[in-house]
Amino acid sequence: MSLQATRSAVTGPALAAFAAALLFSPPAFAYVGPGAGLTAIGTMVAVVAVVVLAIAGFVWYPLKRILRRSRTADQADTPK
């Protein structure tokens, strides 16, 4: 049995059990205080900021290097 077949054989029942647990569980009536709520919101904002800055870094710095290289090539081509 291949790894993908084994993974799908395990994933299907696990996903069904997870869905059943979500659908048939009673409400918890749990209280989330203001400190925990603000911490959760701050964490989500930080994670989104890290992802955006990581993507920007991976895109910007190669572009910056390409622009700098083309600018120096243009300056070398112009006669003085």
Per-domain residue ranges of the chain? 3-77
3-state helix, strand, coil in the chain (%, to 5): 80, 0, 20
What pLDDT, on a 0 to 100 scale, did the predictor assign at position 49?
A: 97
Query: Is pLDDT at 10 greater than 90 in this prediction?
Result: no
What tens digit of pLDDT does each residue of 19-77 get? Answer: 999 899 888 888 889 999 999 999 999 999 999 999 988 888 888 888 888 877 767 66
- The pTM score is 0.48
Question: What single string gives the DSSP state of each residue in 38-63?
Answer: HHHHHHHHHHHHHHHHHHHHHHHHHH
- Higher pLDDT: 36 or 10? It is 36
